[in-house]
A = this chain, B = another copy of it.
């Protein structure tokens, strides 16, 4: 049981679209990720997902609108809601979601990760 310093944890990795696990509670994971460019359209059938921006500007495209998140802003994407994260420049985020989440949801992609590292 140690505290987590987000900036220190973010200094430990460089790759984009590869979330790292930094905490677990009540079957939910806390993750950090660096994003740049465009992800893939996807949805999670059974899991709601929280995005919180720590650095940079994240656009979350929904089928009916785009939402722009700045540092200090968060958004919860309900299950069964198609979304596409887009980062024109590097973005750092914190994610909070069930341990069962697959990063690309029900979309098979080269970006799909089988297993996440803990840092």
Contacts and interface: CB of A to CB of B under 8 A. Distances in A.
A12 interface: no
A83 B99 CA distance: 26
Report how many copies the assembly holds.
2
26 contacts: A1-B62, A1-B76, A1-B78, A2-B75, A3-B67, A3-B73, A3-B75, A4-B73, A4-B74, A4-B75, A5-B73, A6-B72, A6-B73, A23-B50, A24-B76, A25-B48, A25-B49, A25-B50, A25-B76, A26-B47, A26-B48, A26-B97, A28-B28, A30-B50, A30-B74, A30-B76
A75 B6 contact: no
A56 interface: no
Describe A's contact surface by its main secondary structure. Answer: strand
Interface of A: 1-7, 23-26, 28, 30, 47-50, 54, 62, 67, 69, 72-78, 81, 96-98
Contacts of A74: 3-4, 6, 23, 30
Given A1-B76, A1-B78, A26-B98, 19 more contacts: A1-B62, A1-B75, A1-B77, A3-B69, A3-B74, A5-B72, A23-B74, A24-B76, A25-B48, A25-B49, A25-B50, A25-B76, A26-B28, A26-B48, A26-B97, A28-B28, A28-B96, A30-B96, A96-B96
